[in-house]
Chain A
Amino acid sequence: MRRRTLLYGAMAAPLLAACSGQSDDGEQSGGRTTLSYGVWDVAQVPGLQKVIDAFEKENPGISVRMELTPWSSYWTTLKTSMRGGTAPDVFWMNAVNLQLYAAGGVLEPLSGHIKSDATPVDRHPEALVQIYAYQGTQYGIPKDFDTIGLWYNKALFDKAGIKYPDATWTWDDVRDAAAELTNPRQRVHGMAAEMDRQGQLYPAIFGAGGYVLRDGKSGFGDERSIEGLRYWTDMIDRGWSPPQSAMVESKGRNRYWSEKTAMYYDLSAMAGQMYAVPALKDHGGVAVLPGGRERATVIHGLANVISAKSRKKEAAWKFVHFMAGREAAEIQAAAGATLSSYEGTQDAWFKSMPEFELKHFVDMLEYAVPYPSSKNTAVWENLQYPLLGAAFSGKGGIESAARTLGEQMDRALKEERA
């Protein structure tokens, strides 16, 4: 008996799914257009829902349904759904993938819309907007951003009797402090020189006056770039930072969070999570990145894009246009999960965590360098860690590793143009 009901249930399930699927597809049912919005970060969903509510109030004919796909399968799912024609109408894009999607012709060009609707793109950081343009056409409009700052632990600085980092700090100050702060007996390191492109490698390369990608050429073989990388490997060799082999298992971020590392370059987006830890709330601080030969940090942020295969482009554009405006940015900022990219909307975020002095993240915007990307970014990004790993573990020189990386990256760049 029981088994039979189970069987019937199993047979009915696909039928039910088919029915509900149909009502989803019937876009114009009742004069309403339903847009699908592909996102991956569950932490942002409540804030986004508020933005969507405001949008729907303003546009009674359109409703927006979020489709949450976890980060680990977001891009694979998206690519497959693009092939199958079931991709969301509007979805999140990042720097790594923008050019691939734009060149693949699956994104709706936005330049014309931006012009005719006077979308306030110029109110978002220019370096960030630039990431979402490909061959002179704008394909995405940023919604939030991230920069890298110097996080430090006030308790460890006090203990070592060192002044806190400030805007006057240079790399020499960092080195002096790292040496003082390192305390092998307590397993405390001055710095965590993690091998992470966004947090450590790129900011140091830019700070040394080097580059990652310029005119289709790799910058890893460049003298200045190598100098930047050496800023990190040198700290590992001197014992001021654990080697990368040790940070695979206990990441630099975790070491900073457990107060075993006095300084760490990390994203602004981490502020909320750190603020939730009582010890870090009391001891944590942020400064602008110390200057090398130049002052620099890396900026990245997510953008909203429209699928070229969408059948509801008009409504989709209305939504993207709304998301680019001040109102949406303010709602998003107040939700706290992310830092809105619209100029002057970050105050709510600063005030939510006054102890951290988060405004330093925005102070750096004037010299922030966009996160480097090309058409097939993932290919050359994947070359970095395997080739630099030994040098970041105190085994092998950084100079030859960086030059090899530069050569291989150039080959990959040549291939993507072919």
Chain B
Amino acid sequence: MSFDNAYESLLGGEDAHWAFGTGFSEALSGVNREFPAGVDREALAAYCLMLGDDALIFSQRLSEWCSRAPELEEDIALANIALDLLGQARMLLTRAGEVLGRDEDALAYLRDEREFRNVHLAEIDCGPGPGGDFAATIARLLVFSSWRLALFSRLRGSADPVLAAIAEKGLKELAYHRDHAAQWTVRLGDGTDESHRRMQAGLERVWPFVDELFATHAVEVTLTGVAVDPASLRSEVDGVLEAVLNAAGLTRPTDTRAARVAGMAGRDGVHTEAMGYLLAEMQHLHRSLPGAVW
């Protein structure tokens, strides 16, 4: 063994001993993944992509804040939330991949923009770069986690046992994310004039993307009993958001509907301008060095 490189001595044998690198086994290894009888597998895969892409793309956005948040504790918080969502994404993409014949990495790194099925709320740029703000990221986290928590709460009863198990697991994580965002919203909204102004501006930034969250897609209609109709979540989520905004002394924005393209949006693979830049950064390494391991 050479000692020129300290890592050589560490990396001998199986690298799964280390919590980094490429030794990770697939996300659903060992889970019973039989498909329930009578379920449209193509539709199930499409649905898993929708929920998986929401988590993957928002996880990427949250990761961008690492080392850029207003305080160290928030670097850790947003990175931890991103990690939970990445875990949910890995399981959902693996489930989709069983039907599509592609693994989670191929789905994350080798699909083009039109093949992603995430809602626009997950992809828009709320910072930390120019024009963004921590308050806008908190506003997005509040809306996203309130909506996904309500969705996962119902998904626990899905006829697909894998989706039901992923939802049962993710539910606790999402409840913690929502509480975190709600507590920040109250702190900023009910804080100084400046923090109030920026929290209100953050809400105005994300609110046009709210309606899309509750629009029923054809796939969700096909999968009755397996998928959750997002339209059925609206009153619960509205109630939660109203309680938070009232406690924070903030005003609910009125602009809830961003433009669609010929009636299509994220669930149809039609994305905003920000998506291409996000994918370029997320996929660049894997595409430049196909098959790279480390």
Instruction: Please determine whether chains A and B interact with each other in the same assembly.
Output: no
B residues contacting A by CB (< 8 A) are none
